Chains A and B, each alone.
Chain A
Amino acid sequence: MKVTAKQYALTLLEITEAKEGKNLEESISKFSELLKNNNQINQIDKILYYFQKLYNQKYNIKEANISIAQKIEADELKKIKESLQDLNKDESLDFKVDIKKEIIGGIVLKYGDKIIDASLKTRLNQLKNSLLK
Protein backbone atom coordinates (compact mmCIF):
# COMPACT_ATOMS: atom_id res chain seq x y z
CA MET A 1 0.00 0.00 0.00
CA LYS A 2 1.22 3.43 -0.83
CA VAL A 3 1.79 5.71 2.10
CA THR A 4 0.93 9.31 1.30
CA ALA A 5 2.95 12.35 2.24
CA LYS A 6 0.22 13.37 4.62
CA GLN A 7 0.44 10.07 6.46
CA TYR A 8 4.22 10.43 6.81
CA ALA A 9 3.73 13.93 8.18
CA LEU A 10 1.23 12.62 10.71
CA THR A 11 3.68 9.94 11.78
CA LEU A 12 6.43 12.48 12.19
CA LEU A 13 4.16 14.61 14.30
CA GLU A 14 3.24 11.69 16.51
CA ILE A 15 6.75 10.35 17.11
CA THR A 16 8.14 13.77 17.90
CA GLU A 17 5.36 14.65 20.28
CA ALA A 18 6.45 15.74 23.74
CA LYS A 19 10.05 14.81 23.09
CA GLU A 20 13.07 16.98 23.65
CA GLY A 21 16.80 17.06 23.13
CA LYS A 22 18.39 13.71 22.43
CA ASN A 23 15.13 11.81 22.27
CA LEU A 24 13.88 14.15 19.60
CA GLU A 25 17.03 13.86 17.55
CA GLU A 26 16.81 10.11 17.71
CA SER A 27 13.21 10.05 16.53
CA ILE A 28 14.01 12.34 13.63
CA SER A 29 16.95 10.27 12.52
CA LYS A 30 14.79 7.14 12.71
CA PHE A 31 12.17 8.83 10.62
CA SER A 32 14.71 9.79 7.95
CA GLU A 33 15.99 6.22 8.02
CA LEU A 34 12.45 5.05 7.33
CA LEU A 35 12.10 7.47 4.44
CA LYS A 36 15.38 6.28 3.01
CA ASN A 37 14.42 2.62 3.27
CA ASN A 38 11.07 3.28 1.65
CA ASN A 39 12.69 5.32 -1.13
CA GLN A 40 10.58 8.31 -0.21
CA ILE A 41 13.31 10.90 0.32
CA ASN A 42 12.05 12.83 -2.73
CA GLN A 43 8.73 13.31 -0.97
CA ILE A 44 10.38 15.35 1.78
CA ASP A 45 9.12 18.73 0.55
CA LYS A 46 5.54 17.59 0.60
CA ILE A 47 5.95 15.86 3.94
CA LEU A 48 7.37 19.00 5.52
CA TYR A 49 4.57 21.09 4.01
CA TYR A 50 1.94 18.86 5.57
CA PHE A 51 3.93 18.60 8.81
CA GLN A 52 3.88 22.35 9.23
CA LYS A 53 0.21 22.44 8.53
CA LEU A 54 -0.59 19.66 10.98
CA TYR A 55 1.71 21.09 13.63
CA ASN A 56 0.09 24.51 13.36
CA GLN A 57 -3.32 22.94 13.49
CA LYS A 58 -2.47 20.95 16.58
CA TYR A 59 -0.94 23.77 18.59
CA ASN A 60 -3.33 26.39 17.22
CA ILE A 61 -0.66 28.42 15.55
CA LYS A 62 -1.19 30.58 12.51
CA GLU A 63 1.56 31.82 10.32
CA ALA A 64 1.40 35.53 9.81
CA ASN A 65 3.36 37.33 7.20
CA ILE A 66 3.83 41.07 7.10
CA SER A 67 5.18 42.50 3.89
CA ILE A 68 6.30 46.09 3.77
CA ALA A 69 8.10 48.14 1.18
CA GLN A 70 10.78 49.52 3.48
CA LYS A 71 11.95 49.25 7.04
CA ILE A 72 9.66 50.75 9.64
CA GLU A 73 10.04 51.64 13.27
CA ALA A 74 9.92 48.84 15.79
CA ASP A 75 6.98 50.22 17.77
CA GLU A 76 5.02 50.70 14.56
CA LEU A 77 5.62 47.08 13.73
CA LYS A 78 4.52 46.16 17.21
CA LYS A 79 1.24 48.00 16.70
CA ILE A 80 0.61 46.12 13.50
CA LYS A 81 1.32 42.84 15.21
CA GLU A 82 -1.03 43.69 18.04
CA SER A 83 -3.87 44.57 15.71
CA LEU A 84 -3.31 41.36 13.78
CA GLN A 85 -3.44 39.44 17.01
CA ASP A 86 -6.75 41.18 17.75
CA LEU A 87 -8.16 39.78 14.52
CA ASN A 88 -7.12 36.26 15.56
CA LYS A 89 -7.86 36.07 19.26
CA ASP A 90 -7.93 32.31 19.58
CA GLU A 91 -4.69 31.55 17.82
CA SER A 92 -1.13 32.38 18.55
CA LEU A 93 0.49 33.99 15.58
CA ASP A 94 3.91 33.13 14.28
CA PHE A 95 5.13 36.38 12.75
CA LYS A 96 7.45 36.85 9.83
CA VAL A 97 8.35 40.21 8.42
CA ASP A 98 9.84 40.63 4.98
CA ILE A 99 10.66 43.64 2.89
CA LYS A 100 9.26 43.57 -0.62
CA LYS A 101 10.19 46.54 -2.76
CA GLU A 102 7.72 45.62 -5.54
CA ILE A 103 4.66 46.56 -3.47
CA ILE A 104 5.94 50.17 -3.65
CA GLY A 105 4.34 51.25 -0.40
CA GLY A 106 1.73 50.33 2.18
CA ILE A 107 1.44 46.91 3.68
CA VAL A 108 0.31 43.37 2.85
CA LEU A 109 -0.85 41.19 5.72
CA LYS A 110 -1.27 37.46 5.40
CA TYR A 111 -2.38 35.12 8.12
CA GLY A 112 -3.58 31.59 7.63
CA ASP A 113 -5.16 31.73 4.18
CA LYS A 114 -6.48 35.25 4.60
CA ILE A 115 -4.96 38.29 3.00
CA ILE A 116 -5.38 42.00 3.50
CA ASP A 117 -3.78 43.78 0.62
CA ALA A 118 -3.27 47.45 1.39
CA SER A 119 -0.25 47.93 -0.82
CA LEU A 120 0.23 50.98 -3.00
CA LYS A 121 0.71 48.72 -5.99
CA THR A 122 -2.77 47.23 -5.71
CA ARG A 123 -4.27 50.66 -5.06
CA LEU A 124 -2.69 52.02 -8.21
CA ASN A 125 -4.00 49.07 -10.17
CA GLN A 126 -7.50 49.66 -8.82
CA LEU A 127 -7.24 53.32 -9.73
CA LYS A 128 -6.13 52.38 -13.22
CA ASN A 129 -9.11 50.06 -13.66
CA SER A 130 -11.58 52.63 -12.36
CA LEU A 131 -10.17 55.30 -14.68
CA LEU A 132 -10.37 52.95 -17.67
CA LYS A 133 -14.06 52.27 -17.10
Chain B
Amino acid sequence: MKRTNPPSVEPANPVREISGSESAEESQGSASPEEFSAQSTEPQSAAIQAEVTEKHAAAAPTAVAAEIVIPPILLEGDEPAHPTGAVSPENPATQVETNSTPELPESYGTGRLLLAARDPECVYAHWDLNRQERQKAEDSGGGALSLRIHQDSLSGPVVSEEQFPIGRSHSFVSVAAASGPIVAQLGYYSPEGLWTPVASSDTVEHAAAPAPQPGVVEFATLEFPLTGTSTPGASPAMDQLIANPLTAEAAPAHSSTKPGTEITTALAPEFPLVRTAPAAPELPAEAFADPVVFEADLEEAQLPLPGPGETRPIVETPWTPDREQMLSQLITRSVLRHKRIGSAEFDALLKAESNWAGLLPSAEVSSHAGPQPAAAPGFWLNINAEVVVYGATEPDSVLRIAGQTLPLGPDGSFSFRFALPDGSYSLPVEAVSKHGDVRRAELQFHRGTRYSGQVGVHPQNPRLSVPGSGNPLQA
Protein backbone atom coordinates (compact mmCIF):
# COMPACT_ATOMS: atom_id res chain seq x y z
CA MET B 1 0.00 0.00 0.00
CA LYS B 2 1.41 3.33 -0.95
CA ARG B 3 -1.41 5.59 0.01
CA THR B 4 0.68 7.97 2.04
CA ASN B 5 3.91 7.62 0.15
CA PRO B 6 4.31 9.01 -3.35
CA PRO B 7 6.04 6.91 -5.97
CA SER B 8 9.04 9.23 -6.00
CA VAL B 9 10.42 6.98 -3.31
CA GLU B 10 9.74 3.99 -5.55
CA PRO B 11 7.96 1.70 -3.14
CA ALA B 12 7.51 -0.92 -5.82
CA ASN B 13 10.65 -0.49 -7.86
CA PRO B 14 13.06 -3.38 -7.63
CA VAL B 15 15.94 -1.21 -8.76
CA ARG B 16 16.00 0.84 -5.61
CA GLU B 17 19.30 0.46 -3.84
CA ILE B 18 19.56 -0.08 -0.16
CA SER B 19 21.07 2.91 1.59
CA GLY B 20 23.64 2.64 4.30
CA SER B 21 21.14 3.81 6.88
CA GLU B 22 18.73 1.10 5.87
CA SER B 23 21.43 -1.51 6.31
CA ALA B 24 22.50 -0.08 9.63
CA GLU B 25 19.03 -0.23 11.04
CA GLU B 26 18.97 -3.96 10.78
CA SER B 27 21.42 -4.20 13.59
CA GLN B 28 21.06 -6.40 16.58
CA GLY B 29 19.68 -3.69 18.78
CA SER B 30 16.44 -4.29 20.60
CA ALA B 31 13.55 -2.04 19.89
CA SER B 32 10.52 -2.55 22.01
CA PRO B 33 7.37 -0.89 20.74
CA GLU B 34 7.53 2.85 21.24
CA GLU B 35 5.14 4.33 23.71
CA PHE B 36 1.88 5.17 22.05
CA SER B 37 1.54 8.89 21.96
CA ALA B 38 -1.95 10.16 22.57
CA GLN B 39 -0.95 13.53 21.29
CA SER B 40 -0.70 14.10 17.60
CA THR B 41 2.28 16.13 16.53
CA GLU B 42 1.90 19.11 14.32
CA PRO B 43 4.97 20.62 12.77
CA GLN B 44 5.08 24.31 13.35
CA SER B 45 5.22 26.65 10.39
CA ALA B 46 6.05 30.27 10.06
CA ALA B 47 2.41 30.85 9.17
CA ILE B 48 1.28 29.23 12.40
CA GLN B 49 3.92 31.09 14.38
CA ALA B 50 2.77 34.32 12.82
CA GLU B 51 -0.77 33.48 13.77
CA VAL B 52 0.21 32.76 17.36
CA THR B 53 2.32 35.90 17.53
CA GLU B 54 -0.53 37.92 16.20
CA LYS B 55 -2.90 36.55 18.79
CA HIS B 56 -0.45 37.25 21.56
CA ALA B 57 0.09 40.74 20.30
CA ALA B 58 -3.63 41.29 20.13
CA ALA B 59 -4.06 40.06 23.67
CA ALA B 60 -1.26 42.12 25.18
CA PRO B 61 -2.39 45.35 26.85
CA THR B 62 -1.06 48.49 25.24
CA ALA B 63 -1.17 52.15 26.16
CA VAL B 64 -0.93 53.16 22.53
CA ALA B 65 -4.09 53.96 20.68
CA ALA B 66 -5.44 50.95 18.84
CA GLU B 67 -3.81 50.48 15.48
CA ILE B 68 -5.28 48.88 12.43
CA VAL B 69 -4.14 45.25 12.44
CA ILE B 70 -3.28 44.12 8.96
CA PRO B 71 -3.72 40.38 8.45
CA PRO B 72 -0.30 38.88 7.82
CA ILE B 73 -1.48 37.23 4.63
CA LEU B 74 -1.92 40.61 2.97
CA LEU B 75 1.67 41.48 3.81
CA GLU B 76 3.02 38.32 2.24
CA GLY B 77 4.29 38.29 -1.31
CA ASP B 78 3.34 35.72 -3.87
CA GLU B 79 5.93 33.36 -2.46
CA PRO B 80 5.04 31.62 0.79
CA ALA B 81 6.49 33.09 3.96
CA HIS B 82 8.47 29.97 4.64
CA PRO B 83 10.60 27.65 2.58
CA THR B 84 9.00 24.70 0.94
CA GLY B 85 8.22 22.01 3.39
CA ALA B 86 8.62 24.14 6.48
CA VAL B 87 5.33 22.66 7.45
CA SER B 88 6.36 19.23 6.40
CA PRO B 89 3.49 17.77 4.42
CA GLU B 90 5.30 14.49 4.42
CA ASN B 91 4.08 13.92 7.93
CA PRO B 92 0.64 15.44 8.11
CA ALA B 93 -0.65 15.46 11.63
CA THR B 94 -2.49 12.32 12.35
CA GLN B 95 -5.83 12.54 14.00
CA VAL B 96 -5.44 10.22 16.93
CA GLU B 97 -7.58 10.08 19.95
CA THR B 98 -6.35 12.19 22.79
CA ASN B 99 -7.76 9.91 25.44
CA SER B 100 -5.46 7.13 26.51
CA THR B 101 -5.63 3.84 24.66
CA PRO B 102 -4.70 0.51 26.19
CA GLU B 103 -1.39 -0.91 25.08
CA LEU B 104 -0.81 -4.34 23.68
CA PRO B 105 0.69 -6.78 26.16
CA GLU B 106 4.47 -6.98 26.21
CA SER B 107 4.25 -10.72 26.49
CA TYR B 108 1.65 -13.45 26.28
CA GLY B 109 3.79 -15.78 28.34
CA THR B 110 3.57 -18.57 25.79
CA GLY B 111 7.23 -19.49 26.00
CA ARG B 112 7.22 -19.90 22.24
CA LEU B 113 9.71 -19.08 19.56
CA LEU B 114 8.36 -17.51 16.38
CA LEU B 115 10.38 -17.77 13.19
CA ALA B 116 9.57 -16.01 9.92
CA ALA B 117 11.65 -15.94 6.75
CA ARG B 118 12.15 -12.42 5.50
CA ASP B 119 14.49 -12.75 2.54
CA PRO B 120 17.20 -15.13 1.31
CA GLU B 121 19.66 -13.81 3.85
CA CYS B 122 17.61 -13.15 6.92
CA VAL B 123 14.96 -14.59 9.20
CA TYR B 124 13.05 -12.91 11.98
CA ALA B 125 12.92 -14.59 15.35
CA HIS B 126 10.80 -13.56 18.31
CA TRP B 127 10.69 -15.33 21.65
CA ASP B 128 7.96 -14.84 24.23
CA LEU B 129 9.51 -15.81 27.55
CA ASN B 130 7.91 -15.03 30.86
CA ARG B 131 9.82 -13.63 33.80
CA GLN B 132 10.49 -17.05 35.30
CA GLU B 133 12.02 -18.37 32.14
CA ARG B 134 14.17 -15.30 31.73
CA GLN B 135 15.32 -15.51 35.30
CA LYS B 136 16.25 -19.14 34.90
CA ALA B 137 18.26 -18.32 31.81
CA GLU B 138 19.87 -15.41 33.63
CA ASP B 139 20.88 -17.58 36.54
CA SER B 140 22.04 -20.56 34.56
CA GLY B 141 23.15 -19.11 31.27
CA GLY B 142 25.44 -16.35 32.31
CA GLY B 143 23.03 -13.63 31.28
CA ALA B 144 22.88 -14.54 27.62
CA LEU B 145 20.51 -16.42 25.37
CA SER B 146 21.58 -18.11 22.19
CA LEU B 147 19.59 -18.69 19.05
CA ARG B 148 20.56 -21.53 16.75
CA ILE B 149 19.25 -21.87 13.22
CA HIS B 150 19.29 -25.47 11.98
CA GLN B 151 19.00 -26.71 8.44
CA ASP B 152 15.99 -28.97 7.86
CA SER B 153 15.42 -30.05 11.47
CA LEU B 154 16.78 -29.67 14.98
CA SER B 155 19.11 -32.53 14.28
CA GLY B 156 20.36 -30.83 11.12
CA PRO B 157 23.52 -28.72 10.93
CA VAL B 158 23.59 -25.33 12.59
CA VAL B 159 23.80 -22.71 9.88
CA SER B 160 23.73 -19.70 12.16
CA GLU B 161 24.07 -19.01 15.86
CA GLU B 162 23.89 -15.71 17.69
CA GLN B 163 23.87 -14.60 21.30
CA PHE B 164 21.65 -11.99 22.91
CA PRO B 165 21.29 -10.40 26.29
CA ILE B 166 18.45 -11.80 28.40
CA GLY B 167 16.37 -8.68 27.90
CA ARG B 168 16.10 -9.12 24.14
CA SER B 169 13.02 -10.69 22.68
CA HIS B 170 13.64 -10.63 18.95
CA SER B 171 16.31 -10.48 16.29
CA PHE B 172 16.91 -10.55 12.58
CA VAL B 173 19.32 -13.39 12.00
CA SER B 174 21.52 -14.05 9.02
CA VAL B 175 20.80 -17.32 7.26
CA ALA B 176 22.77 -16.72 4.11
CA ALA B 177 24.30 -20.16 4.44
CA ALA B 178 20.92 -21.90 4.58
CA SER B 179 18.69 -23.31 1.92
CA GLY B 180 15.36 -25.06 2.13
CA PRO B 181 13.56 -25.61 5.44
CA ILE B 182 15.04 -24.14 8.60
CA VAL B 183 14.12 -24.39 12.24
CA ALA B 184 15.35 -22.41 15.22
CA GLN B 185 16.06 -23.25 18.82
CA LEU B 186 16.51 -20.78 21.63
CA GLY B 187 18.57 -21.78 24.62
CA TYR B 188 21.59 -20.98 26.69
CA TYR B 189 24.93 -22.45 27.59
CA SER B 190 25.73 -23.36 31.13
CA PRO B 191 29.07 -22.25 32.54
CA GLU B 192 30.24 -25.75 31.64
CA GLY B 193 29.25 -25.21 28.06
CA LEU B 194 26.23 -27.48 28.07
CA TRP B 195 23.37 -26.46 25.83
CA THR B 196 19.97 -26.07 27.47
CA PRO B 197 17.09 -25.53 25.04
CA VAL B 198 14.31 -23.17 26.06
CA ALA B 199 12.06 -23.07 23.00
CA SER B 200 11.94 -24.37 19.46
CA SER B 201 10.24 -22.86 16.46
CA ASP B 202 8.13 -24.37 13.73
CA THR B 203 9.93 -25.26 10.55
CA VAL B 204 9.80 -22.50 7.99
CA GLU B 205 10.76 -22.45 4.36
CA HIS B 206 13.79 -20.33 3.74
CA ALA B 207 12.91 -17.52 1.33
CA ALA B 208 15.92 -18.20 -0.86
CA ALA B 209 15.22 -18.21 -4.55
CA PRO B 210 16.31 -21.62 -5.81
CA ALA B 211 18.88 -21.49 -8.56
CA PRO B 212 16.93 -22.11 -11.76
CA GLN B 213 17.67 -25.50 -13.19
CA PRO B 214 18.32 -26.17 -16.83
CA GLY B 215 16.77 -29.22 -18.39
CA VAL B 216 13.42 -30.31 -19.71
CA VAL B 217 11.05 -27.60 -20.83
CA GLU B 218 7.49 -28.73 -20.52
CA PHE B 219 4.30 -27.08 -21.66
CA ALA B 220 0.72 -27.40 -20.53
CA THR B 221 -2.57 -26.19 -21.96
CA LEU B 222 -5.06 -24.42 -19.77
CA GLU B 223 -8.77 -24.88 -20.18
CA PHE B 224 -11.21 -22.31 -18.86
CA PRO B 225 -14.76 -23.19 -17.79
CA LEU B 226 -17.09 -22.62 -20.75
CA THR B 227 -19.62 -20.74 -18.65
CA GLY B 228 -17.01 -18.48 -17.19
CA THR B 229 -18.58 -18.83 -13.76
CA SER B 230 -18.55 -21.39 -11.04
CA THR B 231 -20.22 -21.87 -7.72
CA PRO B 232 -18.45 -20.14 -4.86
CA GLY B 233 -16.77 -22.68 -2.72
CA ALA B 234 -16.54 -25.35 -5.40
CA SER B 235 -13.00 -26.14 -6.37
CA PRO B 236 -12.68 -27.45 -9.87
CA ALA B 237 -10.77 -30.64 -10.33
CA MET B 238 -7.33 -29.91 -11.65
CA ASP B 239 -8.02 -31.93 -14.78
CA GLN B 240 -10.71 -29.40 -15.64
CA LEU B 241 -8.12 -26.67 -15.52
CA ILE B 242 -5.66 -28.42 -17.79
CA ALA B 243 -6.99 -29.99 -20.95
CA ASN B 244 -7.26 -33.68 -21.78
CA PRO B 245 -5.30 -35.57 -19.18
CA LEU B 246 -3.77 -38.65 -20.73
CA THR B 247 -0.93 -41.00 -20.07
CA ALA B 248 2.00 -41.18 -22.44
CA GLU B 249 5.69 -41.72 -22.49
CA ALA B 250 7.98 -39.49 -20.50
CA ALA B 251 9.52 -36.40 -22.02
CA PRO B 252 12.89 -36.70 -23.68
CA ALA B 253 15.64 -35.30 -21.52
CA HIS B 254 16.77 -32.36 -23.59
CA SER B 255 16.39 -28.66 -23.28
CA SER B 256 13.84 -28.14 -26.00
CA THR B 257 10.62 -29.86 -26.82
CA LYS B 258 10.16 -31.24 -30.27
CA PRO B 259 7.09 -29.82 -31.90
CA GLY B 260 4.16 -32.12 -32.08
CA THR B 261 5.36 -34.38 -29.26
CA GLU B 262 2.93 -35.43 -26.60
CA ILE B 263 4.57 -35.79 -23.24
CA THR B 264 3.08 -36.50 -19.91
CA THR B 265 4.62 -35.77 -16.60
CA ALA B 266 2.71 -35.37 -13.41
CA LEU B 267 3.08 -31.81 -12.16
CA ALA B 268 1.76 -32.82 -8.79
CA PRO B 269 1.29 -36.42 -7.79
CA GLU B 270 -2.48 -36.33 -7.97
CA PHE B 271 -2.83 -34.46 -11.24
CA PRO B 272 -1.66 -36.24 -14.37
CA LEU B 273 -1.49 -33.84 -17.25
CA VAL B 274 -0.84 -33.68 -20.91
CA ARG B 275 1.59 -31.22 -22.22
CA THR B 276 1.58 -30.73 -25.92
CA ALA B 277 4.04 -28.76 -27.91
CA PRO B 278 2.05 -27.46 -30.86
CA ALA B 279 3.18 -28.51 -34.30
CA ALA B 280 5.65 -26.26 -36.05
CA PRO B 281 4.85 -24.72 -39.41
CA GLU B 282 6.32 -26.30 -42.50
CA LEU B 283 9.55 -24.36 -42.92
CA PRO B 284 12.54 -25.31 -45.03
CA ALA B 285 15.42 -26.83 -43.09
CA GLU B 286 17.77 -23.97 -43.90
CA ALA B 287 15.40 -21.56 -42.17
CA PHE B 288 16.60 -22.80 -38.81
CA ALA B 289 20.20 -22.08 -39.58
CA ASP B 290 19.89 -18.50 -40.75
CA PRO B 291 18.22 -16.09 -38.29
CA VAL B 292 17.53 -13.58 -41.05
CA VAL B 293 15.69 -16.14 -43.12
CA PHE B 294 13.97 -17.33 -40.00
CA GLU B 295 12.64 -13.86 -39.25
CA ALA B 296 11.36 -13.44 -42.75
CA ASP B 297 9.64 -16.80 -42.58
CA LEU B 298 8.16 -15.84 -39.25
CA GLU B 299 6.62 -12.77 -40.75
CA GLU B 300 5.13 -14.79 -43.56
CA ALA B 301 3.92 -17.41 -41.16
CA GLN B 302 2.34 -14.86 -38.90
CA LEU B 303 -1.26 -15.66 -38.39
CA PRO B 304 -3.97 -13.06 -38.07
CA LEU B 305 -5.10 -12.48 -34.52
CA PRO B 306 -7.66 -14.97 -33.25
CA GLY B 307 -11.16 -13.59 -33.27
CA PRO B 308 -13.32 -13.31 -30.18
CA GLY B 309 -13.84 -16.69 -28.58
CA GLU B 310 -11.39 -18.33 -30.91
CA THR B 311 -8.36 -20.08 -29.52
CA ARG B 312 -5.37 -20.99 -31.47
CA PRO B 313 -2.31 -22.94 -30.46
CA ILE B 314 0.83 -20.90 -30.58
CA VAL B 315 2.66 -21.70 -33.78
CA GLU B 316 6.08 -22.61 -32.60
CA THR B 317 9.30 -23.23 -34.35
CA PRO B 318 12.19 -24.98 -32.68
CA TRP B 319 13.71 -22.92 -29.93
CA THR B 320 17.33 -22.63 -30.95
CA PRO B 321 20.40 -21.82 -28.86
CA ASP B 322 20.74 -18.64 -30.88
CA ARG B 323 17.29 -17.47 -29.87
CA GLU B 324 17.98 -18.42 -26.29
CA GLN B 325 21.18 -16.45 -26.29
CA MET B 326 19.58 -13.41 -27.90
CA LEU B 327 16.72 -13.35 -25.41
CA SER B 328 19.09 -13.93 -22.54
CA GLN B 329 21.17 -10.95 -23.56
CA LEU B 330 18.10 -8.78 -24.06
CA ILE B 331 16.77 -9.60 -20.61
CA THR B 332 20.16 -9.36 -18.96
CA ARG B 333 20.70 -5.92 -20.42
CA SER B 334 17.29 -4.83 -19.20
CA VAL B 335 17.98 -6.15 -15.72
CA LEU B 336 21.44 -4.64 -15.53
CA ARG B 337 20.20 -1.33 -16.87
CA HIS B 338 17.98 -1.05 -13.87
CA LYS B 339 20.57 -2.17 -11.38
CA ARG B 340 22.61 1.00 -11.68
CA ILE B 341 25.85 -0.89 -11.48
CA GLY B 342 29.11 0.55 -12.68
CA SER B 343 30.10 0.29 -16.31
CA ALA B 344 33.02 -2.03 -15.55
CA GLU B 345 30.76 -4.46 -13.75
CA PHE B 346 28.24 -4.19 -16.57
CA ASP B 347 30.82 -5.10 -19.16
CA ALA B 348 32.13 -7.96 -17.07
CA LEU B 349 28.70 -9.44 -16.59
CA LEU B 350 27.91 -9.23 -20.28
CA LYS B 351 31.22 -10.70 -21.27
CA ALA B 352 30.62 -13.61 -18.97
CA GLU B 353 27.79 -14.64 -21.31
CA SER B 354 25.50 -14.48 -18.37
CA ASN B 355 21.93 -15.45 -18.58
CA TRP B 356 19.51 -13.57 -16.43
CA ALA B 357 18.91 -16.31 -13.94
CA GLY B 358 19.35 -15.11 -10.41
CA LEU B 359 20.17 -11.54 -11.41
CA LEU B 360 17.13 -10.13 -9.71
CA PRO B 361 15.92 -8.65 -7.45
CA SER B 362 17.77 -5.83 -9.07
CA ALA B 363 17.56 -3.39 -6.19
CA GLU B 364 19.91 -5.46 -4.15
CA VAL B 365 21.73 -8.18 -5.90
CA SER B 366 21.06 -11.43 -4.16
CA SER B 367 23.64 -13.96 -3.26
CA HIS B 368 22.58 -15.88 -6.34
CA ALA B 369 23.15 -13.00 -8.70
CA GLY B 370 26.00 -12.54 -11.03
CA PRO B 371 27.33 -14.35 -14.01
CA GLN B 372 26.44 -17.93 -14.50
CA PRO B 373 28.19 -20.15 -16.96
CA ALA B 374 26.07 -21.26 -19.86
CA ALA B 375 24.40 -24.52 -18.93
CA ALA B 376 26.53 -27.39 -20.13
CA PRO B 377 25.04 -30.65 -21.20
CA GLY B 378 25.09 -33.34 -18.58
CA PHE B 379 25.83 -33.16 -14.90
CA TRP B 380 27.18 -29.88 -13.49
CA LEU B 381 28.23 -28.20 -10.27
CA ASN B 382 28.51 -24.54 -9.29
CA ILE B 383 30.47 -23.52 -6.22
CA ASN B 384 31.49 -20.37 -4.40
CA ALA B 385 32.41 -19.17 -0.90
CA GLU B 386 31.94 -16.25 1.45
CA VAL B 387 33.20 -15.53 4.93
CA VAL B 388 31.27 -13.88 7.75
CA VAL B 389 33.20 -11.93 10.36
CA TYR B 390 31.21 -11.12 13.44
CA GLY B 391 31.64 -10.12 17.03
CA ALA B 392 30.87 -7.44 19.55
CA THR B 393 32.47 -4.67 21.50
CA GLU B 394 31.30 -1.87 23.69
CA PRO B 395 28.49 -0.03 21.94
CA ASP B 396 30.18 3.37 22.19
CA SER B 397 33.43 2.15 20.67
CA VAL B 398 34.73 2.74 17.18
CA LEU B 399 35.15 -0.34 15.01
CA ARG B 400 37.51 -0.42 12.07
CA ILE B 401 37.96 -3.31 9.71
CA ALA B 402 40.79 -3.01 7.21
CA GLY B 403 41.02 0.64 8.12
CA GLN B 404 37.36 1.38 7.42
CA THR B 405 35.14 2.62 10.22
CA LEU B 406 32.03 0.47 10.28
CA PRO B 407 28.78 0.71 12.20
CA LEU B 408 28.02 -1.21 15.37
CA GLY B 409 24.60 -2.34 16.44
CA PRO B 410 22.96 -0.69 19.45
CA ASP B 411 24.32 -3.49 21.60
CA GLY B 412 27.82 -3.24 20.13
CA SER B 413 27.53 -6.28 17.90
CA PHE B 414 28.64 -6.42 14.29
CA SER B 415 28.54 -8.93 11.46
CA PHE B 416 29.96 -8.46 7.96
CA ARG B 417 30.28 -10.60 4.85
CA PHE B 418 33.12 -10.86 2.43
CA ALA B 419 33.60 -12.72 -0.82
CA LEU B 420 36.24 -15.42 -0.63
CA PRO B 421 37.71 -16.25 -4.00
CA ASP B 422 40.89 -18.28 -4.21
CA GLY B 423 43.77 -16.54 -2.55
CA SER B 424 45.20 -15.46 0.78
CA TYR B 425 43.82 -12.53 2.71
CA SER B 426 44.58 -10.61 5.84
CA LEU B 427 41.86 -8.74 7.69
CA PRO B 428 42.88 -6.39 10.50
CA VAL B 429 40.13 -5.56 12.98
CA GLU B 430 40.43 -2.79 15.52
CA ALA B 431 38.13 -1.52 18.28
CA VAL B 432 38.85 1.76 20.04
CA SER B 433 36.97 2.63 23.20
CA LYS B 434 35.81 6.13 23.98
CA HIS B 435 38.69 6.37 26.41
CA GLY B 436 41.21 5.51 23.71
CA ASP B 437 41.84 1.89 24.63
CA VAL B 438 42.63 -0.18 21.59
CA ARG B 439 42.02 -3.85 20.92
CA ARG B 440 43.14 -5.50 17.69
CA ALA B 441 42.84 -8.81 15.88
CA GLU B 442 44.20 -9.89 12.52
CA LEU B 443 42.34 -12.65 10.77
CA GLN B 444 44.11 -14.64 8.07
CA PHE B 445 42.12 -16.46 5.40
CA HIS B 446 43.18 -18.75 2.63
CA ARG B 447 41.11 -20.44 -0.02
CA GLY B 448 42.36 -22.84 -2.64
CA THR B 449 40.00 -24.79 -4.86
CA ARG B 450 40.66 -27.88 -6.97
CA TYR B 451 38.09 -28.57 -9.69
CA SER B 452 37.22 -31.81 -11.38
CA GLY B 453 34.80 -31.93 -14.29
CA GLN B 454 32.37 -29.21 -15.31
CA VAL B 455 32.39 -26.89 -12.30
CA GLY B 456 31.36 -23.28 -12.49
CA VAL B 457 31.35 -20.27 -10.21
CA HIS B 458 28.06 -19.93 -8.41
CA PRO B 459 26.60 -16.43 -8.68
CA GLN B 460 27.54 -14.14 -5.84
CA ASN B 461 26.51 -10.70 -4.77
CA PRO B 462 28.80 -8.47 -6.83
CA ARG B 463 28.80 -5.90 -4.02
CA LEU B 464 30.75 -8.29 -1.81
CA SER B 465 34.39 -7.32 -1.51
CA VAL B 466 37.28 -9.58 -0.62
CA PRO B 467 38.69 -9.36 2.90
CA GLY B 468 40.92 -6.34 3.23
CA SER B 469 39.52 -4.23 0.41
CA GLY B 470 36.29 -2.39 -0.32
CA ASN B 471 33.26 -1.95 1.92
CA PRO B 472 32.01 -5.14 3.50
CA LEU B 473 28.33 -5.87 3.46
CA GLN B 474 26.51 -6.23 6.71
CA ALA B 475 25.50 -9.81 7.30
Please determine whether chains A and B interact with each other in the same assembly: no
| Residue positions of B touching A, CB distance < 8 A | none
Q: Which residues of A contact B (CB under 8 A)?
A: none
